[in-house]
Amino acid sequence: MINKDQSCRQKQRRTSLHLLMLSSILLFSACAQTPPIPKAKPEKYTAVQVNQFRALGFVETDEGWELNLNTNLLFEFDSDRLQPHHIASIQRVAQAMQASGIEAIRIEGHTDNVGSPDYNQRLSQRRAHAVAQTLVEAGMKAAQMQVKGFGAQKPITDSKSEAGRAQNRRVILIIPAV
């Protein structure tokens, strides 16, 4: 005959065993579930707009669509003046962006490493503003432009030679990803 104490211990063992089995089943079933598939980032721009960006020379980056104007818009040393052919090029970009429905843009000015950091900061800001002003004159809205100068902080090439310094005297247009 099993006494009451043994019976109680057997029930406790069975209950503990059942709880252990149930915990194991829940744990294994949780591991077996596939993680949720992350939702794709919604595309902000249409296929027509993306094709227009590419036709203008923009490339997709983590920040959005970027047009590095250093290939066709380089500034003279210590200058923020745009040449007439640069103005025409910027106006074409503005008109194409407006036709595509793009209004928001970030304009980043850059310099070479000659001169003081403070002076280069101001010069890069003036270069970015010169491009922004040309975009405004072509019909874009100034309120939707973010203009920033970076001085010599973000060189794209070595500034040891005049050719390298010239490439760093540039403005970049960015159509934001968000």
**Same-domain pairing of 15 and 56:** no
Give the rounded percent of residues in the chain with a pLDDT score beyond 70. 72
Give the CATH number of the domain where residue 84 resides.
Answer: 3.30.1330.60
CB atoms within 10 A of CB 86: 19
Does any domain span residue 41? Answer: no
User: Locate tokens 């010069």: which residue?
Assistant: 123
* 66 shares a domain with 6: no
Whether 58 and 126 share a structural domain: yes
Task: State the pLDDT at residue 77.
Answer: 84
Domain-located, residue 65: yes
Q: Are 111 and 130 in contact (CB under 8 A)?
A: no
Q: In this structure, are 8 and 53 located in the same domain? A: no
Span 89-143, pLDDT tens digits = 899 889 988 888 887 899 999 999 999 999 999 999 999 999 999 999 999 999 9
Q: Is 88 helix (H, G, I), strand (E, B) or coil?
A: helix
CB 144 within 8 A of CB 103: yes
Q: 98 near 139, Cβ under 8 Å? A: yes
Residues 106 and 140 placed together within one structural domain of the fold: yes
Whether residues 90 and 25 share a domain: the answer is no
- Asked if residue 83 and residue 4 are part of one domain, the reply reads no
Residues 115 and 146 in one domain: yes
SS3 content of the chain, % helix, strand, coil (to 5): 50, 15, 35
Instruction: Judge whether 8 lies within some domain.
Output: yes
Is there a single domain that holds both residue 128 and residue 54?
yes
66 plus 141 within the same structural domain:
yes
Same domain, 19 and 66: no
pTM of the model: 0.71
Q: Which domain holds residue 24?
A: 1-34
Domain shared by 12 and 95, yes or no:
no
pLDDT per position as a tens digit, 30-68: 555 555 544 444 467 888 888 888 888 888 888 888 887
Residue 113 has a pLDDT of: 93
